[in-house]
């Protein structure tokens, strides 16, 4: 990994390198957590879909596809697989019986809690292998990383989503 010298004589990571590290870290955590939790891993597209449904219950497949920037057919296939796994339920809209809404199931919410618990535990365990300075730097950066996530969601909300 390339590091640049900063003004204080140390090294700093450029924005491109930071983006690469964040991507690699996200993939590593995504790959490890389901194995540690003892549940069957979800493909990335299905993970994105289930997280979105959990955050936005009663969404339609069309809204889901638009908000995630997915093809309607891909969103439908992901939803179909999640329904088969018992993680998503399809419910008729009481106001318009032609509309089907997607909701997370109890199983989905239970697995979410399990994944979230294992996720934080996996990261916490790995952080015990870091120096105190490295751990403190990561903890100090959490606010900035959260702001970066918000900025990305604002900048790239997905096709058809109002900014």
Quick: pLDDT tens for 138-152: 999 999 988 988 888
Gap between the Cα atoms of 5 and 28, Å rounded? 27
Rg (CA), the chain: 19
Beta-sheet strands, E only, within 68-145? 88-93, 96-104
Nearest to 138 by CA among 15, 24, 151, 146: 146
Record the tokens describing residue 157, joined without a space. 């909300």
Q: Render pLDDT for 18-68 as a digit per residue (tens, 0 to 9).
A: 888 888 888 787 777 666 556 677 777 888 898 899 989 999 999 999 988
Whether the CB-CB separation of 36 and 50 falls below 8 Å is answered with no
65-108: per-residue pLDDT in tens? 998 889 999 999 999 999 999 999 999 988 998 999 999 999 98
| pTM, 2 dp | 0.64
Q: Cα angle at 151 between 66 and 56, to 5 degrees?
A: 40
Q: CA–CA separation, 14 vs 75, rounded Å?
A: 35
More confident residue, 12 or 83: 83
């Amino acid at each position: 990994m390339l590091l640049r010298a900063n003004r204080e004589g140390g090294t700093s990571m450029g924005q491109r390198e930071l983006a690469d590290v964040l991507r690699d870290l996200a993939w590593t955590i995504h790959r490890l957590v389901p194995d540690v939790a003892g549940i069957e891993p979800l493909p990335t597209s299905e993970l994105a879909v289930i997280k979105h449904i959990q955050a936005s219950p009663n969404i339609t497949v069309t809204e889901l596809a638009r908000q995630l920037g997915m093809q309607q057919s891909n969103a439908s296939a992901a939803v179909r697989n999640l329904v088969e796994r018992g993680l998503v339920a399809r419910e008729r809209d009481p106001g318009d019986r032609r509309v089907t809404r997607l909701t997370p199931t109890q199983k989905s919410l239970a697995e979410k809690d399990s994944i979230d618990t294992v996720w934080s535990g996996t990261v916490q365990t790995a952080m015990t292998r870091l120096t105190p300075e490295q751990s403190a730097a990561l903890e100090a950066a959490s606010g900035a990383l959260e702001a970066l996530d918000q900025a990305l969601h604002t900048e790239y909300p997905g096709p058809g989503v109002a900014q």
